[in-house]
Amino acid sequence: MNFRRTVLAFVLSAAATVTIADTVSLQVEADKSGPKIDRHLFGQFAEHLGRGIYEGIWVGPDSSIPNTRGIRNDVAAALREIRVPNVRWPGGCFADEYHWRNGIGPADERPATLNPNWGGVIEPNTFGTHEFMDFVKQIGAEAYISVNVGSGTAQEAADWFEYMTTPQPTALAKVRAANGHPEPFGISFLGIGNENWGCGGSMTPDYYVSQLKIFARYTRNYNEKHPMKKIAVGPDGGDTSYTEAVMKAWKERTWAWDIDGISLHYYTVGGWPPKYAATGFGEREYATLLKETLRMEELIQTHGAIMDKYDPEKKIALVVDEWGAWLAPTPGSKEGFLEQQNSQRDALIAALNINTFARHADRVRMANIAQMVNVLQAMILTQQEKMLLTPTYHVFHMYVPFQDATFVPVAFDAGRYVHGDIELPRLDAIAAKGADGKLWLALVNVDPNRAVTLDIAAPAKRAKGRTLTAPRFDSVNTFDAPSVVSPKPIEARAKGGKIALQLAPHSVTVVALE
């Protein structure tokens, strides 16, 4: 036997195997189409928690930080860029302790109250209803307001919505006018409580349903020019008891009440209390949290099956109004402020979840990542007058063409990424026909060690867009180095009817097929 030839053959066959494994064919079924990917899937969540509102959004009109009526100009401008469709406010757990009357009227007359959920700090109430509505207007978003079911009354919630929405000259509307807004506000979404199975009062499913019927009846939208949807509290992760109870009640509802959606909360956390580091982690932690995040698929299927049983026409939306990575807090940050850095791993977490929502766009029609600024998986971090955009922000920016796009099926072999006993699909992809008429592809290479060459079969001459890569999967942007993780242009031209596009390890890529 010729030893050299044998070795060479082995090397060549090994190389060939690697090459084959690293090339994936992807077929865009451009002649087929699925549901609309609702732009509200890209919603945000801003709670009175830590430095999320105060410092992150609101600095007050007298601040030396450039602002418009107290709202930071830099943050508002960055949020306009990602076309935030809606903002959920004021919580979270905070919502079930919030009393809206504390947050209206002259700022210096508003009472200081407490925020027992989040660090026990003073809530100055300087950011209230009018400031929130000004904020969403400044960033071009719609309002999603959660009312206090846990410690408030149906009367208080009803009054708040009369105050905000009636065009008639009621006593509450006159107070609104005296506070600077004679025209009624337009509220797009009403959340009836928050996690009433937990921080919102530990209610049994049946008890919550009895509250839901009352609040859904009396919390009215009086602004006929601006329709509003009502969203009930739904499941906590995999627990199906609220899903069953709320959907059954909805199926048996009378004329006196109705809802348009139920909410699902699921965090990528890897066990409570959150212990996974936001920076300086290894491949095991990388793979573990990506696996955790992919549980979203199973949860949507589980709750979706129950919803299908009561609502086969899919009238009720599954609203994932809290999702994202919940990691160990930044060392030195205040307890209860839920501050964490945001790495390239978070970018993949964001993209994998958005892709999952898009694949279920017929049922999942709204979602809100937690949270917008300085809290959990944030878009933006601030430090006094400084601001940085996180890897997650860049994903939301790159995915803008998917807002209100029409889902287009893709066929590909996802392959496997294996680390120890953890096994994940190596590639994830979705396609959609954008409102701009273009065909868009969003691609995630989960493998942190190997690039993938995608052989795209599609009616196009080239793929052109942006890719988000990073030196390491735990790379972050800091105030001193804010562009370590930022999108770069990517382009590939068709040859022989195929477009070969290189996807870097642990990357997110969005391209138009032109």
Known catalytic residues? 195, 322
Q: Which of 70, 92, 193, 234 binds ligand AHR (CB under 6 A)?
A: 92
- Minimum CB distance to ligand AHR, residue 391 (Å): 19
Beta carbon nearer to ligand AHR, 137 or 295: 295
93 makes contact with ligand AHR (CB under 6 A): yes
Pairing state of beta strands 410-412 and 23-28? antiparallel
Beta carbon nearer to ligand AHR, 371 or 390: 371
Q: In the structure encoding, which two tokens stand for residue 299, read together?
A: 């949860």
90 makes contact with ligand AHR (CB under 6 A): no
**Residue found under tokens 């009054």:** 159
Q: Which of 115, 125, 166, 194 binds ligand AHR (CB under 6 A)?
A: 194
The residue number with the shortest CB distance to ligand AHR is 92
Per CB under 6 A, which region of 63-71, 85-93, 438-446, 493-501 contacts ligand AHR? 85-93
195 makes contact with ligand AHR (CB under 6 A): yes
Which helix (H) or strand (E) segment holds residue 349: the answer is helix 344-359
What CA–CA distance (Å, rounded) separates 280 from 298? 29
Beta carbon nearer to ligand AHR, 265 or 472: 265
What CA–CA distance (Å, rounded) separates 257 from 444? 42
Total of chain residues touching ligand AHR, rule CB under 6 A: 10
Per CB under 6 A, which region of 6-14, 50-58, 280-288, 368-376 contacts ligand AHR? 368-376
- Minimum CB distance to ligand AHR, residue 321 (Å): 9
What CA–CA distance (Å, rounded) separates 73 from 372? 15
Q: Which of 212, 245, 358, 370 binds ligand AHR (CB under 6 A)?
A: 370
Q: Are 192 and 147 in contact (CB under 8 A)?
A: yes
What CA–CA distance (Å, rounded) separates 32 from 29? 6
Q: Which of 50, 56, 85, 91 binds ligand AHR (CB under 6 A)?
A: 91
Residue among 114, 116, 132, 138 nearest 124 (CA): 114
Sheet holding 36-37, edge to edge: 36-37, 405-408, 427-433, 439-445, 507-513, 462-468, 488-495, 498-503, 452-457, 23-28, 410-412
User: Which residues inside 320-339 make contact with ligand AHR, applying CB under 6 A?
Assistant: 322
Q: In the structure encoding, which two tokens stand for residue 257, read together?
A: 């009440």
Per CB under 6 A, which region of 16-24, 60-68, 89-97, 354-362 contacts ligand AHR? 89-97
Interface with ligand AHR (CB under 6 A): 47, 91-93, 194-195, 322, 370-371, 376
